[in-house]
Amino acid sequence: MAIAKAHAFAQGNTRTAFLAMGTFLRANGNDLGLPDRTAFGEVITAAVAGEIAPQDLEMVLDRYVVLLSGGEQLRSWEA
């Protein structure tokens, strides 16, 4: 959330935060299995705007975090 709320870029702050989250998850042997990325983007946008509490976003994320097959992990140079 901090990356998205920092507004470090003129555009793309939420996308950057989403990419960072995905990289973190994959580096730790997980990924997001999202059936509808557009709807999920709307949830993240609402969370950044303060319309959804961080713990509620965490509950949504928890439903879609999946273990990569074989527990694969990215090495730091692959992130």
Per-residue pLDDT of the chain (79 residues; tens, 9 = 90+): 676 777 788 888 888 888 888 899 989 999 988 888 788 888 888 888 899 998 998 888 888 899 887 655 554 444 4
Distances (CA, A) of 6 to 2, 21, 76: 6, 15, 25
Question: What ranges do the domains of the chain cover?
Answer: 13-69
The DSSP code for 28 is T
Q: Are 31 and 22 in contact (CB under 8 A)?
A: yes
- Model pLDDT, residue 71: 54
